[in-house]
Every structure is written in structure tokens, then in C-alpha cells.
Chains A and B, each alone.
Chain A
Amino acid sequence: MWRYAVQRILEAIPLLFLVTLVTYFLMNLTPGGPLSLYMHNPKVAPQTLHLLAVQMGLTKPWYVRYFLWLWSLLHGNWGYSYFSGQPVLALIGQRLPNTLILMGSSFIISLGIGIPLGIYVATHQYSLQDHVFSFASFFAWAMPSFFFGLLLQTIFAVRLGWLPVSGMYSVYQPPSLGQLLQHLILPAFVLGLGSLAGWSRYMRSGILEVIRQDYIRTARAKGLSERKVVWKHALKNALLPIVTIIGLDLPGFFGGAVITEEIFAWPGMGRLFLSSLNERDYPVQMAGLLIGAILLVVGNLLADLTYSLLDPRIQYR
């Protein structure tokens, strides 16, 4: 087990370096390079352009530039935003926590509703509730999240006025936890809906698969209550495959946050990334790509490790 964990972590490190290389190349594909902003400005003389290029180190060969960039990246200098001039890492420090709050809340919603829902319909197989659930989960899965988000926003915030339309805190009142929660409900639910549908479906089929096993029959034969059979004996084993799926889905929350944050004007990484695209703010774009990739690689790693920890039957070479 430990050998496997160490091996997987060692494999992830070169992968992350390759990720930085690809990110770097992508940004260097930009037509005109970092100086393209000045190129068409008649007030900037060619000499000045050349001076800027020397100053920014653009005259050096690409591999030297890459390693210089990587070196400062590893030392916590992620460059400065072209748009606001602020250090990129500081910008991320402001935005990432907000995205993590949003991701965490939708994760709790998906898990807290999805798992019990899956168990409930599995224990009521072929009932009316089961059919309604099946049907609804297909729609929840297929509905574009921005469409669902706009619908909820219009109904609950604009028409009914029960919840705030957008943002993280109200402008009129001092920030408080209650306000944050009010602002969280809609975006967190929109972000979590797809996983809620997916996980509850997996949970349902997981329970249905396990419930036919011999050890469940044994548990029933011993005279255990149905509740104990399901919640203690079946759930433990049915949860196994779900753990991997949840781990693999986790980075998806980060990607989905781009859309959810845009709809609900949530001041997180996703919106920062989108505005950096519009503003051609390459250092921020690179940081967004990198953070997304790091979350993905680490998420996959955690999913694999958790699985190997939970299922001793699996042998690793």
C-alpha cells in the first residue's frame, strides 16, 4: 500500500512539470507575444519595443525563458496581472477561497442529498418514487447548468424575491455568515445538481448490486432489522465504487464553477479566469489553467489512494 502511494505521488510530480510546460507553450502561441498590446500603438517607437523585449527577457531562447519562469513560479512569483498590475498570487489568494466555499457547499449538497436519495430509491426499487427519480435524474443530468441557473435565479430571486439575485454579500448590510449562506443557496445547488443526479444513480445501482450478495442474506438470516442490513452491511460495500467516482468528479466542480460564478456574479476563480480571457491577461490565464490542472491531478491521486485504502482486495504491482 505505502509503496503504491509513494509510486503514485512520484508519478504525479513529472506530470505536473509537463503541465507547466504545456501551459507555457500555449501562452507563447499568442499571436504577437506579450508585447502585442504595444505593437500597434504608433506612440511606441521600435527602439522602445526592443528595449521592453530585452527588459522582459524576450530575446532569450524559449527554453531559458521557460526555466526562468518555472523557477520564479516555484518561488512563489506567479507574475503580475497585465490588467490590474497586482501580483497574480495575491489575486488568486483573494478569489480561490470564495470558489472553495462554493465548491465545498455544492459538494455537501450533492453528497448530503444524493447518497441518501440513492439508498432510498434502491430500497424502493420499481416503486413510483423510483421511476420518478429515474426520470428526474436524467433531466437533471442533461439540463445545461447555465439554463438551470438562470431559471432558478429568475424564479426564486427575481419573481419571488426569496433569495438574493447574485454576489456574495449584500451591499446594504455588513457581511455576516447568514448573508453568505443566503447568497450561497442558489449557486451551490446549481453547481451540485449534476453530481447529485450522477452520484444518487451510482448509489442506487451500487446498493442494488450489493443487496443480492450472500453476506446480506446472512445478515438478514441472523434476524437483523432491514434498516441495519441496509445502513450497516450494504452501505459500506456499496460506497466503495462511489468513492472513486466522487474523487474523479471533484475537479469537475472547479470547471463548473466557471459557469455558476458567471451567472451568480460570485467573486471566485472562475470569474477571474473569464475576465482574464476578455482582458488578454495572460499571467492570470496561465495561473487559472495551472490551478485547475493541479486540482485535477491531486483529485485523481486522492481518489486512487482512498480506493486502495478502502479495498484491501486490490493488489498493486
Chain B
Amino acid sequence: MAKLAEIPEALGTEEPREHRPSVLVRLFHHRMALIGAVVLFIMVSASVFAPLITRQSPTQTNLFQTLLPPGPGHLLGTDQLGRDVFSRLLYGGRISFLVGAGATAISVTLGTFYGALSGFLGGIPDRLMMRFVDLVLSFPAIFLLLVILNLMGGQASVVVMILYLGLFGWGGLARIVRAQVLSIKKLEFVEAARAVGAGPLRQLIVHVLPGAMAPVWVAAAFGVGGNMLAEASLDFLGFGLSPSIPSWGNMLNAAQNYIVTNPTMILVPGLTITIAVVAINFVGDGLRDALDPRSTAGMQRIG
């Protein structure tokens, strides 16, 4: 399946390096990426500094004040157990961003090293390693995750969720990195490094890998949003994080029974997660334009 990606692209068509502004500068000039970054910064800060913004607890139940509409005491009302929706939204952001970033960090690290090693080794090890990727990618991600989460008793902790999403999300990136490494390792500067006596590990890490990193950063950016959506979907289906954890997915799960009577309960977390993922994808889009305009890597999602 990786064969289409093996066709070496023309590498010499870019402008010479010294005439191109640095990636950060180009990213800064990308208006959508800038807007995305600002929105994201505000959302992440609001979650991190949640205790400074609201004094309400995200988990304190109050059965005398359930399903309140938005009002002065509770800015966005309360849920079916009397918990403050605004507070849950802020603290839930911690969970969502943590799971998104944590799972992506694991899958990007795994995918990059696995793909780079496979492409660099070549021959039979490469074939075997890629057949393993084929196997991992043969299962629809959501089915596999649901089965495994259910086998392990459902109601995962945050760490377990990060591990599972991370351990099952690296296959696609491994293929992309491998294709990059395959085309880069044939270039003259790698041969030159070998000629002056650089060992295989040095060749790979110092000379080949840096050139293969563009799609990695793009995939990482889109991966955060994708993993946040995946986690929320699993929560929604009731196979995700334990219901006691205030996450956006769990808020949506609880809200579906009150959608007619208390629409804020569903609109608030739903719109928040949408805006967060849009902001992340804006940044990803900007990164792609800045790093690697021809690539179509990145956009993947579960559910």
C-alpha cells in the first residue's frame, strides 16, 4: 500500500534556502494560523488557570440545584447533578487538551522513529516492518479502540486513554516518514556523510531525519485535534473516560438526555470542542503551507 508514496518527488523545485523566510516567520504571516494560535492560547490558558477564573468546583454535586438555566450564580447553568457547567467546561479543557497532546506525542514519536528506521534499513527488515504497519492499519481504529477499552473494563483513566490513542495512531505517519526517508537517503549529502565515515545511526539522525520532519509537524498538529475528537466520541458512546472525570465528551454524553429542555448543556461543550479543533486545524493548515505546500498529509479523523 505504501507504493504510491514511494514515487520520489522532484526535490529541486523549491527556492534556494536563503531567499525563503524562516518557517516561524511564514507561519506568523499566515492569517488563519495566527488566529488559530491566538484562540488556542486563550482556550488552553483558561483551562490551565481554571481555579483563578471560577470558584465553582467541576465535580461538586448539588441535588437541590439541578438543570439550572444560565444565570448569575452559575454562569452557564448546572447539569443534571447540579454541577456547574462553566467550571466543568474550563476543567474539561484540561482533560481534552492533555489527551489530545499526550496521545499525539506518543503516536508521533513512535511513527517517526518506526518509519525512519524502516525506510533507512531497507530490504527485508523494511518489508517486515511495513507489513506490521499494514496489519495495524487493517482494523478500523474506532472498532479496535472500543473492543480494547471494553476488554479492559470500560471507564478508562486519563493515562490509559492517552496510551491507547497514542499506541494505535502511529501507522499512517510511519508510512509517510518512511517514504520521505527512502527518497532522502539516496541524496548525495547522505552519501557524502557516509563517505567521511558517519555511522548508520549518525547518518539517520543527523543527516536524513531532519529533512523528513516537515510532514511530521503537520501530522502532529492535525493529530491533536483528531485525538481530541476521538476521545470525545469514545466518551459519548460510553466507552471512554470514567463518567466522574469532567471531560467535554462526558459533558456531551450527559447532555443528550436534556437536549430539548436544557440546550445550553449540549451547545456549550459541543461548540467549544468544535472551535478548539478548528483552531488547531488552522494552525496545522498554516504549518503545512509554511513547511510543505504540496503535501496532503495530516487530515485524519475517527468517527
Contact = CB atoms under 8 A, between A and B. Distances in A.
Given A150-B259, A289-B147, A22 B274 contact: no
Given A147-B273, A150-B266, A289-B143, A29 B135 contact: no
B143 A138 contact: no
B1 A304 contact: yes
A126 interface: no
If over half of B's interface residues share one DSSP class (helix, strand or loop), that class is named, otherwise mixed; here it is: helix
A297 B143 contact: no
Contact of B138 (A254, A273, A296): A296
Interface stretch (B15-23, B75-83, B180-188, B233-241): B233-241
Contacts of B237: 258-259, 262, 274
Contact of B147 (A15, A26, A194, A295): A26
A307 B151 contact: no
A138 B279 CA distance: 9
Nearest to B36: A138
B4 A304 contact: yes
A147 B232 CA distance: 10
Contact of B142 (A26, A244, A258): A258
Contacts, number: 130
A317 B188 CA distance: 24
A141 B281 contact: yes
B140 A296 contact: yes
A26 B149 CA distance: 11
A142 B278 contact: yes
Contact of A143 (B256, B259, B274, B302): B274
Contact of B131 (A15, A151, A245, A289): A15
Classify chain B: how many residues form its interface, as a range. Answer: 35 or more
A259 B147 contact: no
A269 B216 CA distance: 35
A142 B277 contact: yes
B142 A255 contact: yes
Contacts of B146: 258, 273-274, 277
Interface string B217-259: 0000000010001001100110100000000000010001001
Interface string B251-276: 01000100110010010001001100
A158 interface: yes
A288 interface: yes
A198 interface: yes
A267 interface: no
A258 B303 contact: yes
B274 A142 contact: yes
Given A142-B281, A147-B252, A154-B259, A307 B4 contact: yes
Most buried by B among A141, A151, A202, A273: A141
Contacts of A26: 147-148, 151
Classify chain A: how many residues form its interface, as a range. Answer: 35 or more
A288 B148 CA distance: 13
Interface in A255-282: 255-256, 258-259, 262, 273-274, 277
Contact of B1 (A241, A251, A300): A300
B139 A292 contact: yes
Contact of B281 (A138, A262, A296): A138
A44 to B, nearest CB: 23
Nearest to B273: A144
B303 A256 contact: yes
A151 B282 CA distance: 24
Contact of A259 (B4, B148, B151, B303): B303
B239 A277 contact: yes
A273 B139 CA distance: 14
B201 interface: no
A277 B152 CA distance: 12
Interface of B: 1, 3-4, 7, 131, 134-135, 137-144, 146-148, 150-151, 225, 229, 232-233, 236-237, 239, 252, 256, 259-260, 263, 266, 270, 273-274, 277-278, 281-282, 296, 299, 301-303
Given A255-B303, A293-B139, 15 more contacts: A15-B134, A19-B135, A26-B151, A138-B281, A141-B301, A142-B281, A145-B233, A241-B296, A251-B140, A258-B237, A258-B303, A274-B146, A277-B147, A295-B140, A296-B138
